[in-house]
Structure 1
Amino acid sequence: MDIKRIVMAGGVLATAGAIGFVMQNGESAKARYAGASIPDISGTASEPLQVTDITLTSAVADTVAAQTSRSELQEQSIAEAAIGAPEQETIAPEIEMAALGDPIALEVVEPEFAPPVSLCSIEMTAEASAAAMVDLSLSAACYPNERVTFHHNGMMFTEATDETGNLNLSVPALSENAVFIVSFANGEGALANTKVPSLEFYDRMVVQSKASSGLHINAFEFGAAYRDEGHVNANSGRTMADAAKGHGGFITSLGDGVQGEALVAEVYTFPIETAQKQGDVHVSVDAEVTTANCGLRIEAQTLEVRRASAMKVQDVTLPIPACDAVGDFLVLQNLIQDLKVARN
């Protein structure tokens, strides 16, 4: 088949993006995140960090031993009924016979309530590593082979634990104070954070969507053409070691596309402060026409972080050609701003 590469102007397809760390709440964002709970982990000054359904807590009811008269017990029962108190199991009072003339004391023993027990102990750790990456380690023994969603500064992707409930990932940080949230389908989850001061030495560009969208990042470093050595994509073999040494950028693929309706992301990292060459780096987003997306309108987002500064977010709506174009590619130009690399 003669594969066509149809170049399109990204500015025509991208809606106006919000500047900052907060995920947009427009129609395209709602379409992409339908059914997912999106915590606001932006860290902006106007909204405090709020995390729900993450930390498991337990409450222990106080056990009260009270001595009271029969009339006082009746008055208490009437008062509880008046305010709709929940029904509780009644315990017959223990009555001890006293000598004639002694007062009769009723000892009421209320039941003890055991604290609720969590069904699973979920733990996640985060540790900063080279090239402003973060090593995440998730341990959830009672969630083997389970779908799980990660959230980090507006980026979301779907993964799965292994047969022991464990998962280890290396994720590009998008903020120096990097907060990561993981959530299972039932709402249980965990949170971990770490400092990534080296982020200021790198620029990062993200494209995220559902796995069926077929979107990918391509970077053309210092005038490289398609399939040249300086053409960087998910299959080019570049690693974070190349970026840490200033040799060039690399792409990280996040998300398990095997999971149904999985969220995926590709992140291009470039060592803007330590690059050994100078010139321009052109970044584009490609959409391959497949049987899974042909004839559909897909939703996506791009995120850009330059030298650990404020994040730029854009929603993208892209109509895919009909299924007779399967195998062709749409190339979205100018969707992500090119990098200008100067020798330091």
Structure 2
Amino acid sequence: MAQLKKIGMAAGTFSVALGIGFVMQNGDALASRFGTGETADVRPFTVEDETPVQVVQASLTSDVDLTSDAPTNAEIVAVASTNPMEEAAIADVAETDIADEAPALMEPDLVNQIAVTVPADMRVPDLGETPLQLASIERDPAPLLSELGVAETATVEVDCVPEMMAAPLAGAMVEIAVVAPCHTDASFTIHHQGMMFNAMTTETGTAKITVPALSATAVIIAAFDNGDGAVATAQVPDFAAFDRAVLQWQGAADVSLSAYEGGAAFGDANHIHGDNPGDMDRLTASEGGYLMRLGDATVENGLMAEVYTFPTGTVVGDMDVLLVAEAAITDQNCGNELSAQSIQVGPDGVASALDLTMVMPDCDAVGDFLILQNMFEDLTLAAR
């Protein structure tokens, strides 16, 4: 196993300055409907003939007996109509006696109509049983909206400015909700008091994450790769009751944080690490600490972090907590440069940070672990 040089402790605080551009876009989608109207040109029906037509006044009723004074075949009675097509359909009087056809004309609404006497030589061809066909008027269909330069579908613009909300939870945690409808299935970076890790939005552009608070007034930033971002703030009332230790790295460094509580040995129940992280119930009951891993391993060369939280202000009895940072030697990181950073925050809110950069051992050491010395200060708690 390679021998590491002792790393000096550097105290200080880290802040992140992030410029976020907000662009508000508003748009209106308009649509118009168009129609056409046509008026048929109808000329009054006329008969052009040099033979004079005698017009007499007549009064017709449905019970008049026309057989006694029925006109001869040389005469025809035509009932005036407002429809020219009906006026053209005149009955053939050459073969049929007008008296036999008269009842078909005896309707009550024919009173005071005009009777026209027509000479015999004005014959009309026999229409027989040929049905009367009316000419149809076809209107041109309304033009398509696309032909008029009008969009057939309206587009509703979406507000692409991301939003974020934050709310405190038990255990000095903060829950954040990110809404970014124009960043679906997209990675973004969370910044909080020098801690950074990647996260992903869902297919609807949302994300919900629990973040351990590193200050009593937690200011959290979500930043997307194109410069869009959002900021949220939450007051953390129980912040002073906890100690926090953060180990963060980028890419395939494969580093991890372990906490040995109350003199625990490797693999004991009180050895808190990635495979035995504890839980929130253990933390809020003041039984011991809780380890959270933050970041999305699917993001290429992504930012990852592990955060250990211990209930310093409420734990009962003497307890020492040994904090150890380790790095596994793997096929992905052997022989490559490793970069990591530790951040440690006490109940008083004072933070210290340490950066580590080193070259990993050659690949013949794959499977071994390195102990990264002096990345954290151990916790020594006296009985209360």
TM-score by length of 2: 0.63
Relative contact order higher in (CA < 8 Å, ≥ 6 apart)? 1
SS in 2 for 1:243: helix
Q: Deviations over 1:34-82 (max 9, x none)?
A: xxxx41xxxxxxxxxxx522544689xxxxxxxxxxxxxxxxxxxxxxx
More strand by share: 1
Question: Which of 14, 30, 53 is equivalent to 1:22?
Answer: 14
Check whether the contact 1:219–1:231 (CA below 8 A) recurs between aligned residues.
yes
Distance 1:341 1:18 in 2: 21
Amino acid at match of 2:199: E
Q: How does 1:1-344 map to 2 (within 5 A)?
A: 12-19=5-12, 21-23=13-15, 38-39=16-17, 51-56=18-23, 120-344=160-384
Aligned-pair CA distance for 1:262: 0.1
Distance 1:54 1:157, change over 3 A: farther
Aligned-pair CA distance for 1:309: 2.4
SS in 1 for 2:339: strand
Aligned-pair CA distance for 1:244: 1.1
Q: Deviations over 1:163-215 (max 9, x none)?
A: 11111111100000100000111000100000112111100000111131111
What percentage of aligned pairs have identical amino acids? 36
Which of the pair has more CA radius of gyration? 2
Distance 1:281 1:8 in 2: 25
Distance 2:221 2:257 in 1: 25
Distance 2:241 2:173 in 1: 12
Aligned-pair CA distance for 1:218: 0.3
Distance 1:286 1:217 in 2: 6
Distance 1:205 1:338 in 2: 10
Q: Deviations over 1:122-166 (max 9, x none)?
A: 111110001000001111122111011110010000111111111
Unaligned runs of 5+ in 2: 27-156
Check whether the contact 1:290–1:323 (CA below 8 A) recurs between aligned residues.
yes
Check whether the contact 2:289–2:308 (CA below 8 A) recurs between aligned residues.
yes
Amino acid at match of 1:189: G
Aligned-pair CA distance for 1:16: 4.4
Amino acid at match of 1:17: A
Distance 1:120 1:15, change over 3 A: farther
* Pairs aligned (count): 254
Distance 1:7 1:273 in 2: 39
Aligned-pair CA distance for 1:293: 0.7
Q: Deviations over 1:308-328 (max 9, x none)?
A: 321101111232111111111
Amino acid at match of 1:212: A
Check whether the contact 1:134–1:172 (CA below 8 A) recurs between aligned residues.
yes
SS in 1 for 2:238: helix
Instruction: Compare 151-160 and 332-341 and name the one that shifted more.
Output: 332-341
Unaligned runs of 5+ in 1: 1-5, 24-37, 40-50, 60-116
SS in 2 for 1:131: coil
Distance 1:304 1:8 in 2: 25
Check whether the contact 1:233–1:251 (CA below 8 A) recurs between aligned residues.
yes
Q: Deviations over 1:270-295 (max 9, x none)?
A: 01111134221101001001111101
Check whether the contact 2:7–2:374 (CA below 8 A) recurs between aligned residues.
no
Distance 1:139 1:8, change over 3 A: farther
Distance 1:207 1:145 in 2: 26
Distance 1:243 1:7 in 2: 36
Check whether the contact 1:277–1:343 (CA below 8 A) recurs between aligned residues.
yes
Check whether the contact 1:252–1:266 (CA below 8 A) recurs between aligned residues.
yes
Segments of 4+ moved more than 4 angstroms: 6-9
